[in-house]
Amino acid sequence: MSDLLSRRLALLDSAEQRDLLRHCRHGLEKESLRVDPAGHLALTPHPQALGSALTHAQITTDYSEALLEFITDAWEDPAHSLDELDAIHRFAYAQLGEEQLWTHSMPCKLPDEATIPIAAYGSSHIGRIKHVYRKGLAVRYGKAMQCIAGIHYNFSLPEMLWPLLQQAEGDSRPAQDWQSERYVALIRNFRRYSWLLMYLFGASPAVCASFLKDREHNLESLGAGTLYLPWATSLRMSDLGYQNNAQASLRPCYNDLDSYLASLRQAVSTPYPPYQAIGLHDQDGEWQQLNTNVLQIENEFYSSIRPKRVANSGERPIQALGARGVQYVEVRCLDIDPFLPLGIDLVAARFLDAFLLYCALEDSPNMAGDECRECTSNFALTVKQGRKPGLVLQQHGEARELTAWGLQLLERIQACAALLDSAHGSDLHQLALSAQRAKLEDPSLTPSARVLRSLREDNLSFFAFAQRQSERHAAWFRSRPLDAESLTAFEQSARDSLAAQAKLEAEQQGSFEEFVTRYMAAIEPGE
């Protein structure tokens, strides 16, 4: 444990400060494909009974029209976040008819690319922006990529914690700058150690062969219709997931917020010849991407963690961050655990809290290029070979065996888990840590190993396994219908969101082309 971490832990462990850590906030975003009873991608539109995908606060779509996204509020107790996610699932299942949710990160059997529907959001300018952006993703990445699902874990430390640390460390910067700097420091440490999360929570070591048809790959066959890597933890987070030659050279700097934002602004405004060759419009004059640059918008940059700030209406994420600084982080590398109805549980959430608190409080020096490349390599090795006995990673040019390094990290995180337990008057964070230690000591306990064991022992293809788990979870949710009051509240939210979308469309002014121009100009330096 570093001296800095020890000092910060001691400061927060004083009687008057201990209660602060009860006020961390946790929000969840979970993606799930809608599938028909046979387990094939649903080709139906977003169900109107779920409300407007454009304006509903809890239920939207991500890239494909069939890729539902459920969003919770940010609660101080992660149990409340999971309860809200559970309620959203139960409402959705009441509206889905024969369809159900695919409870795995890697997709079901997909139709040909042309048949996969792209998410639509109505005729308002902002709705069309969202649709054209996804059309751009289709021409840049292929539509199959738009059917990969995951869980995002939104986490913030208490607002009152930052001035306490700043005063103790004698820093005189504006409070907003200090808070942003500390969150960016958290992100640097996350990049150093996030390979551990992929080992512990990766749950996609295999894929349906249909996902990779006509694509080169180095996967092995595991029975008919299933491709896998024997030691993989998360093929979703490997180069089989989102990959893009344009993004390969994009390495945003996480040494300070301004340079991070500058790198994204540059990517959004730098032409990329292959995208220029595609063009903004197709032969019929229809928009097929928002621009021909490295990124259409900042959210296209696919990263395992993002600095975030709640944006105002009409404000781009990059504008919100530049104007008011970092408010929370979004962890984006979590697979859906196919053995859990919600895809995540409280044990994982409490470990993530301890892990992220450690990343925030531990010393986090700036990262030079060599260390950035090392972190990227460690992550890539772990998602493809994480359970391989004796797997060696690199730390500052020195070899580190994954298991030994992971156990050492857990020892350091232990103090953060104990501090959280002290604040909450429980031992639940330390128990969550113990559950992860067991996975390092016995790789067969990891979700990725459990998936492969199920395929082999039950003689199932990936598709059959994922279909079975989806059916089990669907039955579980449908056996627990919402009470009348909760159902009425969800139904009202759906109606309200449809009315809000209709209002946007009725009050719209100007041309779409003018709206796109203004939208793109909004993040120019000085704006």
> Mind giving me the DSSP string for 332-383?
EEEPP-TTSTTS--HHHHHHHHHHHHHHHHS------HHHHHHHHHHHHHHH
pLDDT confidence of residue 16: 80
CA distance 463 to 466: 5
- Output the pTM of the full model: 0.96
pLDDT in tens, 337-353: 999 999 999 999 999 99
pLDDT confidence of residue 369: 86
CA distance 169 to 4: 10
pLDDT confidence of residue 242: 55
pLDDT in tens, 221-275: 998 899 999 999 999 999 876 555 667 667 777 899 999 999 999 999 999 999 9
The DSSP bridge pattern shows strands 328-334 and 59-61 to be: unpaired
Lowest mean pLDDT among 71-75, 223-227, 384-388: 223-227
User: How many other C-beta atoms are found inside a 10 Å radius of the C-beta of residue 493?
Assistant: 17
One-letter amino acid for residue 255 of the chain: N
| pLDDT band with cut points at 50, 70 and 90 for residue 146 | confident
DSSP state of 522: T
Kind and range of the H or E run holding 33: strand 25-35
pLDDT confidence of residue 237: 95
Residue 149 tokens, joined: 């699902």
Closest CA to 354 of 5, 29, 11: 5
pLDDT in tens, 502-520: 999 999 999 999 999 999 8
Is the pLDDT at 367 greater than 80, yes or no?
A: yes
Q: What is the mean pLDDT of residues 274-296?
A: 94
pLDDT in tens, 192-205: 999 999 999 999 99
Residue with more model confidence, 368 or 406: 406
pLDDT in tens, 121-143: 999 999 999 999 999 999 998 89
Task: Check: CB of residue 430 under 8 Å from CB of residue 419.
Answer: no
CA distance 150 to 165: 34
CA distance 470 to 300: 29
Is the pLDDT at 214 greater than 80, yes or no?
A: no
Q: Calculate the CA 509 to chain-centre distance.
A: 34
Of all residues in the chain, the percent with pLDDT exceeding 70 is: 98
Give the burial string for 7-34 (b: 16+ CB within 10 Å, else e): ebbebbeeeeebebbeebbbbbbbbbbb
Domains in the chain (CATH in brackets) are 3-489+501-521 (3.30.590.20)
| pLDDT band with cut points at 50, 70 and 90 for residue 489 | very high
pLDDT confidence of residue 523: 73
Residue 58 tokens, joined: 């809890």
One-letter amino acid for residue 158 of the chain: P
Q: Calculate the CA 155 to chain-centre distance.
A: 12
